[in-house]
Amino acid sequence: MTIYGTVAAPAARIRLPKAVAPTIFLAHPDGSIDVIDTVAVERAVHGERSGWTLTDSEIRYAAPFMAGVVPYSVICSRLGISAARLKTLLPGIGPAKPSMARPRPAKPAPCGTSRGYRAHLRRKEPTCQSCRDARAADDRRYRLTGTQSQDLETAV
């Protein structure tokens, strides 16, 4: 695809083994059989899952291919499961520390700042006057100087 005379790089794809058939049957020593729909697994791995879920055996098949390629939280969202469920299905796959799963801000955004204004919007709350004033001041600064809002002492 060409955009303004440059060639856009294709999105990185996760490599899956080539299957001869769209369905794989896995037999276990206890006599049970797992059925894996490789087309559904491929669509889920590439983030094209919408409105349907994978079976536990399909999740066990897909997750190892994604580990180390995409973040742990992306694996969970693409497979449509929680981090706790992924950990029970595949204990060997996961972040080294729980804090690596998804970084969280250390403290909530204070009111009277642009960050507080965005937090109000994200939580679908009405914005307070101090946050609206801070947002207006930052917008005004950006229009006048062309730079993002930051403290002048820390910028030097």
Tell me: do 19 and 67 sit in the same domain. yes
Is residue 149's pLDDT more than 50? yes
Q: What is the pLDDT of residues 74-102, one digit of tens each?
A: 888 888 888 888 888 777 776 655 555 55
Q: What is the model's pLDDT at position 5?
A: 45
Q: What is the model's pLDDT at position 129?
A: 95
Asked whether residue 60 is assigned to any structural domain, the reply reads: yes
Asked whether residue 108 is assigned to any structural domain, the reply reads: no
Q: How confident is the model at residue 4 (pLDDT cuts 50, 70, 90)?
A: very low
Interatomic CA distance for residues 125 and 10, integer angstroms: 39
Find the angle CA(87)-CA(90)-CA(93) to the nearest 5 degrees.
80
Tell me: do 76 and 136 sit in the same domain. no
Asked whether residue 66 is assigned to any structural domain, the reply reads: yes
DSSP 8-state code for residue 22? S
Asked whether residue 1 is assigned to any structural domain, the reply reads: no
Using a pLDDT cut of 90, give the percent of the chain over it.
15
SS percent in the chain: helix, strand, coil, step 5: 45, 10, 45
Domain membership of residue 121 as a residue range: 114-149
Asked whether residue 129 is assigned to any structural domain, the reply reads: yes
Which residues neighbour 15 within 8 Å (Cβ) at sequence distance 6 or greater?
A: 65
Other beta carbons within 10 angstroms of residue 145's beta carbon come to 9
Interatomic CA distance for residues 76 and 96, integer angstroms: 16
Asked whether residue 31 is assigned to any structural domain, the reply reads: yes
Average pLDDT score over the chain: 76
Asked whether residue 107 is assigned to any structural domain, the reply reads: no
In this prediction the pTM is: 0.49
| Entry field: residues in the chain | 156
Asked whether residue 2 is assigned to any structural domain, the reply reads: no
DSSP 8-state code for residue 12? P
Tell me: do 96 and 139 sit in the same domain. no
Tell me: do 36 and 80 sit in the same domain. yes
Tell me: do 54 and 81 sit in the same domain. yes
Is residue 121's pLDDT more than 80? yes
Find the angle CA(7)-CA(12)-CA(17) to the nearest 5 degrees.
135
Q: What is the pLDDT of residues 24-46, one digit of tens each?
A: 787 878 888 888 888 888 888 88
- Cα-atom radius of gyration of the chain, to the nearest Å? 23
